[in-house]
Structure 1
Amino acid sequence: MTTENLLVELFVEELPPKALQKLGDAFASGIAASLEGQGLVASGAAVTGYATPRRLAVHIIGVAAKAADKPVSQKLMPVSVGLKDGQATPALLKKLGALGLDEGAVAQLKRQGEGKNEALFLDSVQSGATLAEGLQKALDETIRSLPIPKVMTYQLETGVALPGWDSVQFVRPAHGLVALHGSAVVPVTALGLQSGNATHGHRFEASVEPIVLQHADGYARQLHDEGAVIASYAERRQRIAEQLQAAAARVGQGARPVHDEDLLDEVNALVERPNVLTCQFEAEFLQVPQECLILTMKANQKYFPLLDAEGRLTNRFLVVSNISPEDASAVIGGNERVVRPRLADAKFFFDQDRKKTLASRLPQLARVVYHNKLGTQGERVERVRAIARAIAERLGVDVALVDTAAQLAKTDLVTDMVGEFPELQGVMGRYYALNDGLAEEVADAIEDHYKPRFAGDALPRGAVGVAVALADKLETLVGMFGIGNLPTGDKDPFALRRHALGVIRMLVEKAPQLALDDVLQAAQAAFTSHLPTGTEFGDASASLSAFIYERLAGSLREQGYTAQEVDAVLAQQPQRLADVGQRLQAVRVFAQLPEAEALAAANKRVSNILKKADGEVQATVNQGLLQEEAEKALYAALQAVAPQAQAAYAAGDYTASLQALAALKAPVDAFFDQVMVNAEDAALKANRLGLLKRLQQAMNQVADLSRLAA
C-alpha cells in the first residue's frame, strides 16, 4: 500500500491568544487519531502540529490513499427467527434485501452458537475508506470537538456557500482550507470551504500572495520563505525567548526580562514572525511600586519589563512586534507613547491612595458585601480578628500587632489601585501600611495573609503574618462549612481545597505547636457574635476536620507515601500535623521489621474482636483472673514493653516507639494460638478483652497498625 504525507490547514481570522495552543494541539491530534482509527495511517506515525494567530494545521507522515479492505462478520438474527424447516423466513429475506442481497445469499450464511444462542452471521469484505472519505470524517469530528472558548456565528462569503449553508459557527471566521496528500489536493469541505492548495502568509510582510503550496512536506519552509511566517508554535516561542534574552543582554548591567511563561505563551499567540524591540519610559515613574508598573505593562500591553541584576525594575521594557521594518524607531516610539498614560494612571492611583490612611477606610468595608449569609467584609474582618488573636495567644506572638494587621488586612480592597488591579491586593496594603508609619511586621502580615495563594507559593515571612493568614483561611473554611456551602466535584468557587492545603502547610511548617481541633474550635467561636441576624449557622468542626485530613492524605500520597502508610497514620487523626511526617517515617521503618507483618495482622484481629464485643471495652486487667500461661506472658510483655513505647512516643521518637513493639510478636502469637478470648465465664472474657484493649492502645499510639495488614 503506497503512502504519501498529508497536510491539512485551516486558515482563519485572528484566534483568541489564550486558547491558541490548546486549539492547535487538539486540531492536530484529533485529525491524526481519526485517520488512524480508520486505518489510513499507521499507529505511532509522526504528527506535527502548527498553530499561528491565523491558522491551525497538521502534517502527518505516511497516510494511505485508501485504507485496506477488511473482513467483517455481521450478526443478522437468531436461527430460530431466520430459518424455518431449513428455509429462509420473510424476516431473513427482508434483512438480506436491506443489505442488497437476495435469497441466493442464504446458503452463504454461517451458524454460530448453540441452542437459543445460535445465530446467523454473514461474512463479507468491507471496503477500506478512501482518504477523501476518511479525512472528511476526521475534519468533521475534530472541528466539532475543538476546545473553543466561545463560538462565533458568521455568514459565509458570497459564492463560497455550499447548498443549504446560511451561516457557520466556529471560534473565528474561516477563510481557507488546504488538504494536500503529497502534491495532490484531497477534495474535502469544512465550515463552508472547499479544499485547495493555496494559503496566505504574514498579513504585511509576505513576499507572495497567495502562497501556492507545492507539496505537503514544503509547508513550513514555504510559509517561512514566501510568507514570512513561522508556522511552528514551539519554534516561534523559542525564538521569542531567545530574542528577549539577547535584547536584555544588549541593555547590559545584568538586565533580564521578567519571567512569565503565561505572558510568553500569550505573546507567541499574537505574532507570526516575532521581532523583539527595546523601549523605555521616564525614570520618574519608578517612584511607583514596581509591582504596579510590572502588572500594568504585562496585563494591559503584553510587554516584558526589564529588571536589573538585583531584581529591581528598570525604565526599559521589551516589546514583541509582529513586523520587522528596517527602521524600527516608529514602532518603538509608538509603544513608548502607548505605555506612558498607563504608567501615569498607576502613579495617580498610588498618589491618591496615600492621601488616606488604611484605618480611615475601615468604615467602607462595612458597605462591601462578602456573602449574603455571612455579611459584609466589615463583619468578616471582626471574625478574622477574633481568630487571629486566639492564634497569637497560642503562638506567643504580640497580640496587639496581630490584631492591627488582621483589622487592616482587607482595607486595600477599597483603594483605587486595587480596584484597578485586583491582583495587587495585599501587596498594596503593605506599601500603604508603611506609608502610614505602621510596624514592618504589620505591613508584612497585610501582604502575606493571602499566602500561600497556590501550590508551591511562599508562606508568610513572620509569626504575625502566620497568625493572620491562618485566621483568614480558617474564617473562610469555617464560614462556608457552617452555611453548608461545600465544594462539589470540580466546583470550588471559594477555593476551599486551596485554603485547606494552606492551613496544613502553615501548621506543619510555621506553627507546629498548634493542634488542628483547637484552632478549628477557636475559629468556630468567632462566628457566635459576628454573623448577620437570621443566619442559620452550624458547628462544622467535625466535617471540616475530616475535609482537611482528606486534603492532607492526598498531599502525602503525591509525596510518595503509600495509601496504607497514610491511612495508618491519619486514622489516629494526629492533632499536631507537623508530627505526621515523623509518624510516616516511623511506620515505614516499622514495616521493614521481620515482626511487622505478624503484628499488623494481630492488631487487625484485635480490632475486629473488640468491634464485636458488647459495649465499650475497658483497658483494665485483673492479674488474678489470668489463667493461661500465654495470657500471663502477654500481660508481662505488655508491662515491660508499653512503658518503653510510651516513653519514646512522649519524647517524639516515633520510630523507637514502634520498634519497641517488636518484642510483642512472640507473646501475641502464643496468645492467639492458646487462649480462647470469648470464654463462657463472663469475668474471664471481660478480662481477656481488657488485655486486648490494653494491647491495642500500646500498639496504636503512633499509627493504627491494623491498616498495614494485607
Structure 2
Amino acid sequence: MPDLLIELFSEEIPARMQARAAADLQKLVTNGLVEAGLTYAGARAFHTPRRLTLAVSDLTAQSKATVEERKGPATDAPEKALQGFLRATGLSKDDLEVRDAGKKQAYFAVIRKDGRKAADIIADVLDQTVRNFPWPKSMRWGNGSLKWVRPLHSILCILTTEEGAEVVPATIEGFETTNHTRGHRFHAPDEFSVTSFEDYEAKLKRAKVVLNAEERADAIWSEATSQAFANGLEVVEDKGLLAEVSGLVEWPVVLMGTIDAEFLSLPAEVLQTSMKEHQKFFSVRDAKSGQIVRFVTVANVETADNGATILAGNQKVLSARLADAKFFWENDLREAKAGMTAWTDALSNVTFHNKLGSQADRITRIEALARELAPVTGADAEEAVHAARVAKADLSSEMVYEFPELQGLMGRYYSEQAGLSSAIAAACQEHYSPLGPSDDVPNAPVSVTVALADKLDTLTGFWAIDEKPTGSKDPFALRRAALGVIRLILENNLTVSLTDVFASADGRADAANLLSFFHDRLKTYLRDQGIRHDIIDACIAMEGNDDLNLLVKRARALAETLATDDGENLIQGFKRANNILSQAEQKDGVEYSFGADVKFAESDSEKALFAALDRADEVIKPAMATQDFGTAMAAMAKLRGPIDAFFTDVKINADSEIIRRNRLNLLNRIRATCGAVADLTKIEG
C-alpha cells in the first residue's frame, strides 16, 4: 500500500498560523481521500516557517467500484419527472430498468462507478485543498489568482511503494507537482529530490531544516537551559514564547547575550516583557535574586563568528528598547512618589463605557462597594477604600500604556514607591485575579475586597444597561467575572448576600436575573468538581440561595449523602411519599400539613416512623441553624429504613377516614423533614 507525501513550500508563514495550518492541511486532505473512497493507516502533519507537510501512510491504491440503485418515478408519471430523474442520475432512458413497485411499475437506475486510482483522487483533493485553504489572512502575488498566506513556491506530491516513488501529476494555478524541495534558505538553498517521507525528513535535516516543531522547541529549550546553567543562571519558562520562536526558525541556533548594567535596576517583569514583546528574547535570571541579568535569542543561521555579530546587533537594538522602558519607569516613579493623584484625576477623561461613565466614575462605585464588603472580608474599611481608589491608577502610567499586560503589577510597584501599605500595594496587583479557572485567588482581606468590588461593579453595571452575554458572545467577559466572584467567595469562605450587594451596587440591575446567571456559572464550576446539576438545583430552590458559600456547603453535603445507599434509597421513599400526598391533596382539595398523631398509629412500623421523625427533627433543626449540613443530611438519611418499612407494612388509603388522614399527615412530616435540608423533588432518578 503506497505512502503519500505532500509539501507546500512558500515564503515565511507567520508563526501563530503554522500549527493551525498544518492541522487544516491534514483534515482537508484526509477527509477528501476518505470521501472519495480511499482509506489509510495514519497521517501526520508538520510545519516550519517555510513549509507545510503531510505524510499519509498505507493508503489504498484505488477506490472500490460501487453499485448504487435509485428508485425513480412511476412509468406513467409526467415526462418532466422522468427527465429530472435522468439528469440526476446522468443516465439515458435506455439505461433504466422497469420493475414492479407496489401496485405500479417504476423506473430504477443502477449506477455503476468504477474504482479510481489513488493518484487521480489525490490530484483532485490536493487541488481543492490548495484553492480553498482556510488561511485567516491571505494574499495574491504576481499575475496569478491563487491566494496564499505568503507567496507559494512549489508543491511536492509523491506516492511511494516498494517499487519506488512517483510524482502525483497535477497542475494547480500554474504550479506543477514535483518530487523536489529545498533546504535552509541560506545553508542549503538548492533543490533536491526525495523518494519517501523518511528520505525527505533525513535530507531536510542534512539541509539544516528540523521538520518537527516539537523537536525544534526541545532543542531550543535544552540548549538555552544548558547555557544558563553553565553560567549559574536559569531561563524564565515561557511556553507560549517557546512555541512562537520555534515557528520562526528552521535551524535553531541558541545564543546568550548580556544586558547593559544601566538597565538591570528595572523591575524584572519590565525587562522580561520588553524583551519578549519587542525582541522575542527569553529572559535569564539569577536564581537567588530573581533579577533578569541576561537574555537568550534564537537565530536561524550558523555563523563563522559563532553568533557574535548577531548578538552585537541584538544587544544594540535591545539597549534602545530598554532605554525607552527606563525612561517610562523613571517618569512613572516621580509621579508615584507625588501620590499618583494626577493619574487618578486623568481617569476621569478615560471612558469605561458610554452608558457607565468614565474610569473615574467606576472607581467611585468600586470604593463604595469596597466599604460595604470590608466587614464581610475582614478588611480594614478605610484601607480597602484607599486601595480601591488607587488600584487602577497605573492605567495612566507611561509603562502600562506601553505594556498593557503589566497593569496591576506596576500598580503594586508604584504604590510601594508612594509609601502606601503593603496590603494596598498587593491589592493593586491582585484585584484583577482570578483571571481564569487556573489563576490563583487572592486571600489577603484588602485584595479580596477590591477584587470582589471590581467584578461585582462590572456585572451589575452591564446588567443595568442590559448588556448581557448571549450564546457564545461575551464581549465584556462577564462569565469570567462571575466565576471570579464565585471563586473569591468560596475559596475565602465568605458569607455574602449577593442580592443585597446587587441592590447597593446598581439598583437598576435585574437582581433576580443576575442571581440566576450566577447560579448557572456555579453549576458549571461545581460540575467540574463532580457535583450533579440536579443536586445544585435542589439547593438553589432553598431560602438563602444568594449566599453562594451556604449554597455550595449544602450541595456538597447533599452530594455526599446521595452517594450512600441510604441516601439514594431515601430519595425513592421521599418521592413515593410526596407523590401519594400530592395526589391526595389535589383530589381532596385540602392540605394535609398538620395533625399527624402517633395515637392513631396501628402498626409497629408506623409507630417506628413517628419516633424516627421525632429523632430526625431533634438533630436537623439545630444543625440547620448552625449550617451543619452534613449532620442534618446524615440524620435525614437515617429515615431510609423506617420509611421503607412503613410503605411495606401500611396501606395509606385505609378504610377509616381518620386513619387515612393521619397517615397522609404523616407523609407530610416526611416531606417537611426532608425538605428542610433541600428540595428533593429536584433530584432526578
Listed as ranges, the matches of 1:201-600 within 5 Å are: 201-206=183-188, 209-225=190-206, 227-251=207-231, 253=232, 255-310=233-288, 312-327=290-305, 328-356=307-335, 357-510=339-492, 512-515=493-496, 518-527=497-506, 538-572=508-542, 574-579=545-550, 582-600=553-571
| Cα-to-partner distance string for 1:478-497 (whole Å, 9 max, x where unaligned) | 11112111111221111111
Partner secondary structure for residue 73 of structure 1: strand
1:638 maps onto 2:613 in alignment: yes
1:33 pairs with one of 31, 34, 47: 31
* Equivalent residue in structure 2 for 1:121, among 95, 108, 121: 108
1:68 partner SS: coil
Verify the 8 A CA contact 1:281 1:315 in the aligned structure 2: yes
In structure 1, how many angstroms separate the alpha carbons of the residues matched to 2:683 and 2:505?
A: 40
Answering whether residue 572 of structure 2 is matched by residue 601 of structure 1, we say yes
Structure 1 range deviating more: 293-302 or 19-28: 19-28
**Distance change (3 Å), C-alpha of 1:580 and 1:624:** closer
User: How many percent of aligned residue pairs carry the same amino acid?
Assistant: 35
Which digits, 9 at most, give the CA deviation of each residue in 1:362-420, with x for residues without a partner?
22111110011111111100111111111102233210100000011111111111111
Classify the secondary structure of the residue corresponding to 1:14. Answer: coil
* Cα distance, 1:310–1:674 mapped onto 2, change above 3 Å: farther
Superimposed CA distance per residue, residues 107-165 of structure 1 (whole angstroms, 9 cap, x where no aligned partner) = 5x655x6457x754333431123334322332244346644222323334xxxxxxxxx
Name 1:13's counterpart in structure 2.
11
Contact 2:123 2:168 in 1 (8 A): no
Taking a change above 3 Å as real, the CA distance of residues 119 and 423 of structure 1, as seen in their structure-2 partners, is farther
Residue 658 of structure 1 aligns to which amino acid in structure 2?
M
Structure 2 residue 59 is the aligned partner of structure 1 residue 59: no
Cα distance in 1, alignment partners of residues 314 and 419 from structure 2: 38
CA positional deviation for 1:609: 6.7
Q: CA deviation at 1:260?
A: 1.1
Indicate conservation of the 8 Å contact 1:22/1:147, yes or no.
no
User: Match for 1:363: what amino acid?
Assistant: D
Distance 1:623 1:570, change over 3 A: closer
Distance across 1 between alignment mates of 2:441 and 2:573: 43
Q: Give the conservation status (yes or no) of the 8 Å contact 1:256–1:307.
A: yes
Distance change >3 Å, CA 290–CA 106, structure 1 → 2: closer
Are residues 498 and 115 of structure 1, via their aligned partners in 2, closer, same or farther at CA, if it must alter by over 3 Å? Answer: farther
Alignment counterpart, residue 699 of structure 1, candidates 665, 674, 681: 674
Q: Counterpart of 1:622 in structure 2: which amino acid?
A: G
Using a 3 Å threshold, how does the CA distance of structure 1 residues 594 and 304 change in structure 2: closer, same or farther? Answer: closer
> Conserved in 2, the CA contact under 8 Å of 1:677 and 1:689?
no
What stretches of structure 1 of length at least 5 have no aligned partner?
Answer: 84-88, 157-165, 529-537
How does 1:56-95 map onto structure 2 within 5 Å?
56-70=52-66, 72-81=67-76
Whole-Å separation in 2 of the counterparts to 1:354 and 1:484: 40
Taking the aligned partners of 2:81 and 2:362, their CA distance within structure 1 comes to 75
Output the CA distance in 2 between the equivalents of 1:705 and 1:552.
19
> Which is further off, 32-41 or 621-630?
621-630
Secondary structure, counterpart of 1:366 in structure 2: helix
What's the secondary structure of 1:434's corresponding residue? helix
Tell me if the contact between 1:405 and 1:446 (Cα under 8 Å) persists in the aligned partners: yes
| Count of aligned positions | 670
Contact 1:52–1:272 (CA under 8 A) maintained in structure 2: yes
Match for 1:354: what amino acid? Answer: L
Counterpart code for 2:680: L
| Among 621, 624, 633, the residue aligned to 2:594 | 621
Alpha-carbon distance, 1:99 to partner: 5.8
Change (3 A) 1:619 1:455: farther
Question: 1:276-304: CA deviations, max 9, x gaps?
Answer: 10001112212111111100101111000
Matched, 1:181 2:159: yes
RMSD across aligned positions (CA) = 3.2
CA distance change for structure 1 residues 632 and 457 in 2, over 3 Å: closer, same or farther? Answer: same
Shift of 1:520: 4.2
Q: Of 32, 45, 69, which residue of structure 2 is paired with 1:49? A: 45
Contact 1:645/1:660, CA 8 A, preserved across alignment: yes
Structure 2 counterpart of 1:23, from 21, 24, 34? 21
Q: Distance in 2 between matches of 1:131 and 1:73?
A: 21
Give, in angstroms, the shift of residue 25 of structure 1: 1.7
Q: Would the aligned equivalents of 1:387 and 1:471 in 2 still touch at CA under 8 Å?
A: yes
TM-superposition CA deviations, 1:644-698 (whole Å, max 9, x none): 12233344443332221244335545369533499999x996x877655553332
Report deviation, 1:334: 0.8
Q: Cα–Cα, structure 1 residues 114 and 703, in superposed 2: closer, same or farther, change >3 Å?
A: farther
Letter in 2 for 1:309: A
TM-score, normalization by structure 2: 0.89
- 2:377 and 2:295 mapped to 1: Cα distance? 45
**Residue 152 of structure 1 aligns with which residue?**
139
Question: Could you give the per-residue CA deviations for residues 455-502 of structure 1, whole angstroms, max 9, x where no partner exists?
Answer: 211122411000000100111111111211111122111111111111
Q: Distance in 2 between matches of 1:297 and 1:429?
A: 21
TM-score, reference length from structure 1: 0.86
Letter in 2 for 1:621: F
1:525 maps to a residue whose letter is S
Q: Which amino acid aligns with 1:69?
A: A
Mapped partners of 1:91, 1:434: distance in 2: 85
State the SS of the aligned residue for 2:68: strand
What is the CA–CA distance in structure 1 between the aligned matches of 2:326 and 2:208, rounded to whole Å?
40
Aligned counterparts of 1:102 and 1:438: Cα–Cα separation in 2: 90
| Contact 2:377/2:448 (8 A) holds in 1 | no
- SS at the partner of 1:152? coil
Shift in CA distance, 120/106, structure 1 to aligned 2, threshold 3 Å: closer
Distance, in Å, in 2 between the alignment partners of 1:125 and 1:313 is: 74
SS of 2:46's partner is strand
The Cα of 1:316 is off from its aligned counterpart by 0.7
Q: Residues 346, 692 of structure 1: CA spacing in aligned structure 2 closer, same or farther, 3 A cutoff?
A: farther
Tell me by how many angstroms 1:65 deviates: 4.0
- What amino acid maps onto 1:342 in structure 2? R
